[in-house]
Amino acid sequence: MPPTFMISKHIFCEKKKNKTKQKNMMKPGEITTPSVTKPAGPAGEHLVRPSEPTPSHILPLSSIDTHPSFRFYADTLHVFMHGREPAKVIRRAISKALVFYYPLAGRLVHSGDDDLRIACTGDGVYFVEAQAKCKLEDVNFLQRPLMLPIDDLLPYLPHPQEPALPLFMIQVTEFKCGGFAVGTRYNHMITDGVGLGQILQAVGEIARGLTRPTIDPIWQRDCIPILPKSPQPHSQVSSPPFTRPNFNLEDTILDIPQDHIDLLINQVTKETGAKCTTFDVLAAKLWQSRTRAINFDPQVPVIFSFTANIRPLLHVLKQGGYYGNCVYVSYVTVSSEWVARARMSELVRLIQDKKENLRVEFMKWAKGELEQNPFEVTRTYAMMHVTDWRNVGFSDVDFGWGPEMHSGVGTMIDSVVIGFLTRPPASSRGARVTARFVRKEHLAAFHDEMMSFQF
């Protein structure tokens, strides 16, 4: 009998059932409609500037930073159990951290022919202080599906005007229990996931009393190879690049226990005699489960892509501190029939081969020898993308009251089939996948495939 691959059972319930279950969590006599208040004006929202004078000059962006696929505002949400006036503490720490990360307080400017740069103006980052009329436990500690609108937890300018938008925005929402949530929105051209983790860690260190971050930030965008760029309209600077198609994807949360991950790893190792990682087996499992659930025509090419951190490939960045976009997108393409019938070890080997070939492929891209631009996102339902956020540094962020409960992406889009692999909530071991992988009609089959697997 094949082993059963168990996942948290509640996560695949219909949305209406989830909402009913969540309402039942509310305590009698307390609130019935959780809400968040964002005071207007200086009392609740304003620009936070560097606490000391900073250089005033123009800084370049890299060829990765300015690629159209990064020309949008990304967001994250981080949940903490305890805090004492966290908004006040974090606001002061941001001001001090901006002395070291002063480009974040600048603004995006054009320098002709769509040459985008950062003007270090010291104008500041946008900060919002909000209050929730509930306790964290009343809203299931902001686990998904959220019981509060995500827009209530993220910082949005009331009257945004391009191109003078702040590059970095942050909101601290305080809950009645003393817990708090930190929501970020940032122009993806200025940083990636690893960079954001580094920035938030720096703010946390200063909030805890350090006079400077333990990691010195490095700009050095010229370390990324300069490649010919396709002209893009100025209007695309901060608007999402993926506007079509709309796949009508369903939210999916998978909490995968460590013992089940170990089961997969051990089985692959037993078959091949080679080591493999958590990412290898989860990526293979997700890819095959999705392919089987959708049941593509046998010869349809299905694509698995993943984002790789290329800092280790650039000698000049090995000392750490670089917070620009430093990623590369790798693709594996085979027929639907092959993926559906393959053994787990065969899928893992495909993914490992791509990882092992990353250095060679990146160097070819750096020399302009690749026909296909790895950053041109394929917009097809037959493609899925996974980004691994387990080691970007979010779990090390501490503003003075301990590390986060959990964190992850704030908003998801319907035009790219994507999932984020993160660490599970602090009390658990294993991995969490937050994704939009399938349409509603494929969700039950995807669930069934993820719940059991025959080696």
Q: Which residues belong to the active site?
A: 188, 398
C-alpha to C-alpha distance for 128 and 36, rounded to whole angstroms: 12
DSSP string, 215-253: S--B--GGGSPP-------GGGSSS-S-------EEEEE
Q: Tokens 């035009």 label which residue?
A: 415
C-alpha to C-alpha distance for 230 and 67, rounded to whole angstroms: 9
C-alpha to C-alpha distance for 337 and 339, rounded to whole angstroms: 6
Q: Is 414 exposed, middle or buried (0-12, 13-18, 19+ CB in 10 A)?
A: middle
List the one residue out of 196, 191, 172 whose CA is nearest residue 90.
Answer: 172
State both tokens at 340: 């559906």
Sheet of 301-309: strands edge to edge? 249-257, 430-439, 418-422, 383-388, 301-309, 327-335
Return the number of other C-beta atoms located less than 10 Å from residue 115's C-beta: 12
* Cis amide bond preceding 245, omega within 30: yes
State both tokens at 160: 């945004």
User: Is 309:194 a contact under the CB 8 Å cutoff?
Assistant: yes
C-alpha to C-alpha distance for 71 and 76, rounded to whole angstroms: 16
